[in-house]
Structure 1
């Protein structure tokens, strides 16, 4: 089984390559993608608004929209690049097979002549499954998340 830190780097590489279906397949059936509006200060997705809080169904709908050739927001197409620091394992639970990691990042998204750069910290909760690791939750704590943000087309 791969090191969970390598899994995080591989996940970012799939997004950078635009391999969205393969990226989505990394999520557990109960997986969630969460971008809190308050960043690291937000304890849960239900006590305050979030920039994004999506389950597998919503993630699938967003992937399908991005792949649709008629998606207005993708003319011209968006591209992204993730720059990651080495992930740090913060917690391992041998009984449940879960591991939690923290990964500082810089994210750049380009579309046409426009480019957006964001920084923050990923907090992944991974669980072991038959194929290796699966994402139970990907939390994206953006640096200064409460400021006015431009429209982000892809997945941070």
Structure 2
């Protein structure tokens, strides 16, 4: 994949197919997954709490938990569906690209289903293996409100 605009759709497909190890491999060694508590209004992950701010180690632990047959929160297993608008490149600088992708996210488990909307912002770096995530920021439209438990990755 040479066009970074294709990245978000391919990443979402991995999550929707529950291919969490392949998804994790998309992160650079210094990559982070961030879901700000205040959504787009939050400037950084350090001056205010976040719903999630995870480096590769924490992401690996979450992936291992999701795959563990004893993870009671995954009986029955959760499934997701990402519906994405086309990604837009906000900035490119050499081997880096910044994407903006509005989305709808559905997560279903048993009889329950949640719907979230927002914008995913990817800071990507080009490596010999292809594009990798330096930071994935998920700005939820309704982030400041009470949210249901989100079991998977948005």
TM-score between both structures, scaled by the size of structure 2: 0.99
- Give the C-alpha shift of residue 5 in structure 1: 1.1
Q: CA deviation at 1:14?
A: 0.2
1:40-95 Cα distance to aligned partner (Å, 9 max, x none): 0000000000000000000000000000000000000000000000000000001x
Q: Distance in 1 between matches of 2:44 and 2:74?
A: 31
Q: Residue 42 of structure 1 corresponds to which residue in structure 2?
A: 42
Aligned twin of 2:9: 9
CA distance in 2, matches of 1:75, 1:51: 23
Equivalent residue number for residue 70 of structure 1? 70
Partner of 2:153: 155
**Structure 2 Cα separation of the partners of residues 117 and 84 of structure 1:** 13
Structure 2 CA distance for aligned equivalents of residues 119 and 5 of structure 1? 19
1:84 aligns with 2:84: yes
Give the Cα–Cα distance (whole angstroms) in 1 for the partners of residues 18 and 142 of structure 2. 26
Distance in 2 between the 1:80 and 1:144 partners?
A: 18
- Report the secondary structure of 2:63's partner residue: helix
**For residue 107 of structure 1, what is the aligned residue in structure 2?**
105
Cα distance in structure 1, aligned partners of 2:23 and 2:84: 17
The Cα of 1:2 is off from its aligned counterpart by 2.1
1:142 aligns with: 140
Root mean square deviation of aligned Cα: 0.6
What secondary structure is seen at the aligned counterpart in 2 of 1:57?
helix
Q: Distance in 1 between matches of 2:115 and 2:16?
A: 14
Residue from 106, 114, 117 that aligns with 2:115:
117
Q: Which runs of 4+ in 1 moved over 4 A?
A: none
Which 5+ residue runs of structure 1 have no aligned equivalent?
A: none
**What TM-score results when the alignment is normalised by the length of structure 1?**
0.98
Unaligned 5+ segments in structure 2 are none
